[in-house]
Amino acid sequence: MMDCIFCKIANKEIPAKFVYEDEMVMAFHDISPEAPVHILVIPKKHIASLLEVTNEDSQLMVNIMTNVIPRIAKDQGIDEKGFRLVANTKEDGGQTVDHLHFHILGGRSMNWPPG
């Protein structure tokens, strides 16, 4: 996707503060953090949102959930007190970048319900 900002970050055409990378996934600090720890986890391949994930992506999704996220939580020192995982999806979900991403938010206590 030529004009997708997260594809550009994945291709290292735009700089980001990376905290994790493997063949399928990248993670980097959000440019506008909403918490002391605010990391974005993205697939390297362009998937527009959670609703465009298919069975072909099952290995990717399992990797993100069982490996990447717990590892980042440990590295960032938020595994003991916990964190919030968010996937804003499409218009009503407040998605502003149309490339699947998971927000990891931690380092402070969160409110519920979100606004």
As annotated, the active-site residues are 101
CA angle, residues 47, 113, 86, in degrees to nearest 5: 20
E strand spans, the chain: 18-21, 25-29, 37-43, 83-86, 102-106
Would you count residue 7 as binding Zn ion (CB under 5 A)? yes
Window contacting ligand 5GP (CB under 6 A); options: 22-30, 48-56, 64-72, 75-83: 22-30
| Distance from C-alpha of 106 to C-alpha of 36, rounded to nearest angstrom | 6
Which of 31, 51, 62, 65 binds ligand 5GP (CB under 6 A)? It is 31
Considering only residues 67 to 96 of the shown chain, the ones binding ligand 5GP according to CB under 6 A are: 88, 94-96
Q: Does 99 bind Zn ion (CB under 5 A)?
A: yes
